[in-house]
Amino acid sequence: MSATSRYATRTSARGSRRASALGPGLVALCVVLAVVAFLSVTMGSRSIGLSEVLHALGSLNNDGSTNSTVTLELRVPRTLLGIVVGAALGVAGAILQGVTRNPLADAGIMGINAGAAAFVVFAITVLGFRGVGVYVWFAFAGAIGALLLVYSIASLGREGATPIKLALAGAAVTAGLTSVTTGIVMTNVDALNELRFWQVGSLAGRYAPILTGVAPFLLVGLVASLGFGRALNGLALGEDVARGLGQHVTRTRAAAFAVVAILAGAATAACGPIVFIGLVVPHLARFICGPDYRWIIPYSMLLAPIILLLADVLGRVAGAPDELQVGVVLGVLGAPAFVAVVRYAKLSEV
C-alpha cells in the first residue's frame, strides 16, 4: 500500500471515529432544543400548564380562552421564530468566520446590522412607514445591500476579496452607515423612537405574519449552508492550498456571502440586531467538534437557537410581569461568555 493510500485510510478512520462521537451529540442537542422550545411556550409572565399547551396545539384552534390565545398567537410563533432566527445567526457567523478567516466576523462587523438600520430609517423618515411588519422588508433589503457593498469594495484590486480586505471594507461600511443613521435619528424624534424599538433586538411582538414572511428565506439559507463544510475547510488551509485542491476561491466566497446575506439579512430584519449569537456560537461549536466545518455548521445550527430561546425565557421570567428583551439579556450575558470562549476555545484557531 502506498503512503498516500495509508494516509487516506488513516484520515478516513479518524473521520469515522469522530462521526461516531459527534453524531449522537447532534441528536442530544435536538432533544435539548425540544425541551427549551417547550419551556419557551410554557414559561413567561403568565405560566401555562402542559395540558393546556397540548390541548391548544392538538386542536390548533383558538377556543377564545386567554391561555389558548397566548399559546397559539404569541408564544408558538415567537418560539418558532427564535428557532429559525437563532439557527440562521449561528450558521451565518460560522460561515463568515470561515470565509473571511476572521475569528471576530459576525453580522455586525460585516455591515449587515448597519445596512438594515439605515433602510429602516429610510422607511420611517422618507416613506413614512410604521410597524415591524413593514420594517422587515426594508431591513432585509438594507442588510443584503450592505453585504453586497462590502464584498464589492473588498473585491477591488488584483488579489480580489481577501480576508483582510473584507474585514476592512466591513468596518468602513459599518462606520459610514452608522454615522448616516445616527445623524438622521438625532434630528428626527419619530425616527429615533421607532428605530429604538426595532434596534433593541427582540422576539417579542413578532407574530405569525413575520414568521411566515422570513421563514422561507431562512430555511433555504440553512439548507444551502450545509453544503459549505468542505469548501470552508479548504479555505481554512489558505487560498493557495484551496486552489491546489481544485476549489474556485472567488466563486466559493461569492456563494458563501450570498447565503450569509439571506440568513443574517432575514434574521436581522425580523428581530433586529441580536448580538453575540453569531460571534460566540461558532466558537462553542468549534470547541466541541474541532476545526471541521462539516460539523461546526450543524452544531452552530442547534446551539444558537438553544441559547437564544434560553435568553428569551430568562428575560421573560426575570422581568415579570414585564420582560427584558432578548437583545438586552444577550448583551449582559454575552460579554463574560465571550471572554470564556476566548480563554478556553482557542479563538485564534479558525
Per-residue pLDDT of the chain (350 residues), as tens digits, is 444 444 344 444 455 556 667 878 899 999 999 999 988 888 776 667 666 776 666 665 655 666 677 777 778 888 999 999 999 999 999 999 888 888 878 888 888 888 888 888 888 888 877 766 677 788 888 888 898 898 889 888 777 777 778 888 888 999 999 888 888 878 877 777 767 766 777 887 777 888 888 888 899 999 999 998 888 888 877 777 777 777 777 788 888 888 988 898 888 888 888 878 988 899 889 888 888 899 999 999 999 999 999 998 888 887 666 778 888 888 888 778 777 766 665 554 55
User: Which domains, ranges and CATH numbers included, belong to the chain?
Assistant: 3-344 (1.10.3470.10)
**Residue 86 main-chain phi, psi, to 5 deg:** -60, -45
Alpha-carbon gap, residue 154 to 151, rounded angstroms: 5
CA-based diameter of the chain, in Å? 75
Task: Record the pTM.
Answer: 0.84
d(CA 277, CA 280): 6
Could you say which DSSP state residue 44 is in? Answer: S
Nearest 5°: the CA angle 187, 112, 99 is 155
Q: What is the pLDDT of residue 342?
A: 65
**DSSP secondary structure code for residue 227 in this structure:** G
Whole-number Å distance between alpha carbons of 257 and 163: 13
Q: Round to whole Å and give the CA distance between 325 and 323.
A: 6
- Per-residue pLDDT, 59: 62
